[in-house]
Structure 1
């Protein structure tokens, strides 16, 4: 599954692993872009699997003409040893009927490498919220039992909102409720599988709509930063600082290259 860029595989024991769900607005993937670009993380390998649609392109984090031609594929792993942080960036959808296999593949890799915790960045359709989800912050979180015991109190201090359970069969049975994440891709499956496999996983998601989702990505990564403190967010006097996230060069073509002048 994991193919290292060097002769030896990196040691991820105790690392925090961040990965995006391919979900509405691609918010998790855009947020992962900001983390990798800002922290100048090093590509240490890639995920080889038939569960993802094949894709190849130029270096999305190019900083000069020299490294721009470097190739990137559908799932790559970046690392920053000084922060004990690893990020999987996923750049293509999951092949139909392969989501279960992909989740099991991820869980197996997490166990094998001894990651300390996993954070899944996701999003959900804003228009499918129920009444209780319309009020307050657009952010929600979920924790597996394996992580609840260690960070549950911190989430309370941060005043974060747990994702509410929704009625499974509206108009039929109001008593039966479950976690529903419309537009969330593999989010619910990976969460439930991680609960079963005792993986310390947190889901951080934002309610949003399709469109220009760059502001949603900035908001989600700032939400994550409240917890993990990946970049400095307070001044020396203790006041809140404006967090500076570095936009990758690939975002210049996020909506295409524009209309050709010859049309006018």
Structure 2
């Protein structure tokens, strides 16, 4: 993976917190990163070129009057006022190459001096074993702070550790060994059609990212929410809010209009295309 800085720009050492998405159901992680980039007024500082990420290109996602800036598959942003670096991923990883991609991303984070990595992702609502809506939409987490994935700071915020995380389960162990560069020649994992229920979570992109960041000695926290495919903007707000609380971001440093905290990214206006022609009703 190569990191290319924009001309005349440098990485800010004070932006030691890194937020990035893990691609999953509903694209909630990506939407939440979009929301954070837009609302913190983060500026583009460069892009990452990785051989395992499919190419794509688009127009500027955040400004109504684009200046010819292009949106690329892996783009890096910085918000000095919030001490944040954000990486937006706009296209998927080549099938079978997720761990290699996660390793490359972990190497970039370590080399650029990041101290805390926050991974945002959705989970399939159909996999949720016990539904408790008494306190609204629940945030789940997974942290490298303790071996069992727990973190006191997350617990104090009222979040629940992902109960299905078991570092001794075969797929989690396999990921950990791969991330640490250990030999796994004697381990055979089930093919996709033979995955059991306990294999679902470690098969997701957030698990590979978590394992590789942890193996590089970085503090990593995954923030997760269950959702379904559809209009996931409300889930994105919820996940972005959780990331703000975890990193103790000051809402006064956000750039919302009319006293609002959040700025809706310009690209969201065309997520579902133009409105229907009312004359057809």
TM-score in same-fold range (> 0.5) = yes
Q: Aligned ranges for residues 143-182 of structure 1 at < 5 Å? A: 143-145=143-145, 152-165=151-164, 180-181=200-201
Distance 1:61 1:147 in 2: 39
Could you state the TM-score of these two structures normalised by the residue count of structure 1? 0.81
- 2:30 pairs with 1:29: yes
Secondary structure of 2:238's partner? helix
Judging changes above 3 Å, is the alpha-carbon distance between structure 1 residues 33 and 231 closer, same or farther for their aligned structure 2 residues?
farther
Distance 1:227 1:181 in 2: 22
Can you give the 5+ residue segments of structure 1 that lack an aligned partner in the other structure?
A: 170-176, 234-241
Distance 1:194 1:10 in 2: 20
Asked if the contact 2:14/2:80 (under 8 Å) is kept, the reply is no
Secondary structure of 1:156's partner? helix
Q: What is the number of equivalent residue pairs in this alignment?
A: 244
Distance 2:147 2:68 in 1: 40
Judging changes above 3 Å, is the alpha-carbon distance between structure 1 residues 69 and 6 closer, same or farther for their aligned structure 2 residues?
closer
Q: CA RMSD in A?
A: 3.2
Asked if the contact 1:34/1:248 (under 8 Å) is kept, the reply is yes
Secondary structure of 2:92's partner? coil
Give the alignment partner of residue 227 of structure 2, picking from 208, 213, 238: 208
Asked if the contact 2:26/2:122 (under 8 Å) is kept, the reply is yes
Can you give the 5+ residue segments of structure 2 that lack an aligned partner in the other structure?
A: 171-196, 253-258
Asked if the contact 1:47/1:75 (under 8 Å) is kept, the reply is yes
Distance 1:262 1:96 in 2: 45
Asked if the contact 1:34/1:246 (under 8 Å) is kept, the reply is yes
Asked if the contact 2:61/2:266 (under 8 Å) is kept, the reply is yes
Q: Return the offset for 1:52.
A: 1.1
Asked if the contact 1:122/1:203 (under 8 Å) is kept, the reply is yes
Deviations 1:169-206 (A, max 9, x none): 9xxxxxxx968528x84101111223333221000010
Judging changes above 3 Å, is the alpha-carbon distance between structure 1 residues 8 and 231 closer, same or farther for their aligned structure 2 residues?
closer
Secondary structure of 2:163's partner? coil
Asked if the contact 2:74/2:87 (under 8 Å) is kept, the reply is yes
2:132 corresponds in structure 1 to 135
Q: Aligned ranges for residues 6-45 of structure 1 at < 5 Å? A: 6-7=7-8, 9-12=10-13, 15-45=16-46
Name the one with the larger strand percent: 1
Judging changes above 3 Å, is the alpha-carbon distance between structure 1 residues 23 and 44 closer, same or farther for their aligned structure 2 residues?
same
1:219 corresponds in structure 2 to 238
Distance 2:165 2:103 in 1: 26
Could you state the TM-score of these two structures normalised by the residue count of structure 2? 0.76
